[in-house]
Amino acid sequence: MSETKTILRALAGETLPTPPIWMMRQAGRYLPEYRATREQAGDFLSLCYNSDLAAEVTLQPIRRYGFDAAILFADILLLPQALGADLWFATGEGPRLSTIQSQSDFDKLGGRDDIHDTLAPVYETVRILSRELPKETTLIGFAGMPWTVATYMIAGRGTPDQGPAHALKDENPALFDQVIERLIEGTIDYLSMQIDAGAEVVKLFDSWAGSLNGADFDKYALDPAKRIIAELKARHPGIPVIAFPRQAGPRYEGFAKATGADCVALDDSAEPAWAAAHVQKDGCVQGNLASSHMVTGGEALVRETRAIVEAFSNGPHIFNLGHGITPDADPENVQLMIDTVRENRS
């Protein structure tokens, strides 16, 4: 099967004449069919935990666009909820969680063995997708990386500078390290179950890695990725892993070798020519068109898409955005991007 799946071929190090393509948040609010299904579910978390409907929204962009991969519809904050954090979504404001500010807050969390009852519907979604996806479409599972997930657990919400997490890290490193350790263990078990259910690739989203510097980047972005990837590959030999240390800047270089990742996803601040020379030399790269082009479209979208395809044409490459597509994107611009990537495909 892997011979027909272009994503898997790229992840194995093959340079393809046309890069395979998928899109972060490709199942989402920019699609009218997604909005209809979410309304049917009632709210965002209900959609995440309704296996049939979560599978449906995962399949919608595959039916519409024929992407080369589908990524499981879920959320990075389901894991802390499974560990015992309170989680809810405030309309128009995003996620809210109970906070970890003290040892007693941490002690209320459950352990790694407690997560699977809560996350069972996610594993069922993966099983449905492994049956329903076209045979040429790769199924990607995912989780948030410990640092990024911890920033939400400590602040209780998203923050512009991850300040509360940095403060706890600096003021109470013993407690902070306990949080990270619990998340490393939980992430390994969560992704392992996704793989058992049928995920063919897993992606690690470290959305706030760019706020870590120096030794903190090594300790809280690089080292956890290395541990998680090593354990997943020990449990599931051959499983490909995509790592996304967003806004890592010069730290993208060497990240694949240091962690064992099969592919490094790039945000749109990474200049493609630099990344081709300094990151792609170690293996597959993914990215990295600015998501704003999905709103504005036009000749700039075509020009930038072609430039990225050309920049990465001498090595393994998966075409994607540099960040998730936004709700105000025009679905027609997504089609234009795909057509441009595939314009010379025989």
Reading phi first (left if > 0) and then psi (alpha if -120 to 50, else beta), residue 336 is in alpha
Is residue 306 annotated as part of the catalytic site, yes or no?
A: no
Taking the C-alpha atoms of residue 267 and residue 288, their distance in angstroms, rounded to an integer, is 6
- In this structure, the number of other CB atoms found within 10 A of the CB of residue 237 comes to 7
Selecting among 25, 182, 246, 251, the annotated active-site residue is: 25
Reading phi first (left if > 0) and then psi (alpha if -120 to 50, else beta), residue 282 is in alpha
CA dihedral over 204, 210, 214, 220, signed as positive or negative? negative
Selecting among 29, 64, 96, 127, the annotated active-site residue is: 29
Residue 117 has which token pair?
A: 């009852």
DSSP per-residue string spanning 132-192 = HS-TTPEEEEEEE-HHHHHHHHHHSS--SS-HHHHHHHHH-HHHHHHHHHHHHHHHHHHHH
∠ CA 293-8-333, rounded to 5°? 15
Is residue 157 annotated as part of the catalytic site, yes or no?
A: no
Selecting among 49, 65, 152, 190, the annotated active-site residue is: 152
Selecting among 35, 75, 127, 306, the annotated active-site residue is: 75
Selecting among 35, 38, 112, 127, the annotated active-site residue is: 38
Taking the C-alpha atoms of residue 321 and residue 17, their distance in angstroms, rounded to an integer, is 19
Reading phi first (left if > 0) and then psi (alpha if -120 to 50, else beta), residue 162 is in left
Is residue 75 annotated as part of the catalytic site, yes or no?
A: yes
Q: Which residues are catalytic?
A: 25, 29, 38, 75, 152
